[in-house]
């Protein structure tokens, strides 16, 4: 079963969910506003992504960028958990492979 992490009102998340719905694909949606990602999830995404899973071009990240860049790893995790809108989204996974953002080619491989 696919898991899609994101925020319901995000346009990129909406595109991914619409695609999965059109393909009649079952998925679990984890809304960052209702379920804050765990430290382990964030660290796993960092490992997969090769960097912190944040959208550095996003408005929310820009508002905390200076604090984030000066923070220790544990402080960065806390910032991400407190400001979930900083997370690059959606994050889609089948448990083995991950996609950050909307990528129909990746999704087609999973459906």
CATH code of 56's domain: 3.40.30.10
For 35-67, b where at least 16 C-beta lie within 10 A, e where not — what string? eebeeebbeebbeeeeebbbbeebeebeebeee
For the four alpha carbons of 77, 69, 57 and 47, in that order, the dihedral sign comes to: negative
DSSP 23: T
Residue 109: CB atoms within 10 Å: 11
pLDDT > 90? residue 110: no
Domain that holds residue 104: 2-110
pLDDT confidence band for 111 (50 / 70 / 90): confident
Q: Report the pLDDT averaged over residues 39-59.
A: 96
Instruction: Kindly report the average pLDDT of the chain as a whole number.
Output: 96
Catalytic residue set: 10
Q: Report the pLDDT averaged over residues 21-34.
A: 96
Q: Give the chain's largest Cα–Cα span.
A: 44
How many domains does one find in the chain?
A: 1
pLDDT of the residue at 99 = 94
Q: Which residues contact 20 (CB under 8 A, 6 or more apart)?
A: 2, 4, 27, 107, 111
């Amino acid at each position: 079963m696919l898991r899609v992490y994101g925020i319901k009102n995000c346009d990129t998340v909406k595109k991914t969910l619409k695609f999965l719905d059109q393909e009649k694909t079952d998925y679990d949606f984890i809304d960052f506003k209702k379920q804050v990602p765990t430290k382990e999830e964030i660290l796993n995404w960092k490992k997969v992504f090769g960097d912190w899973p944040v959208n550095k071009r996003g408005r929310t990240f820009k508002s905390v960028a200076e604090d984030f860049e000066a923070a220790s790893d544990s402080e960065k995790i806390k910032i991400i958990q407190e400001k979930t809108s900083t997370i690059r989204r959606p994050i889609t996974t089948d448990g083995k492979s991950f996609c950050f953002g909307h990528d129909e080619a990746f999704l087609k491989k999973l459906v």
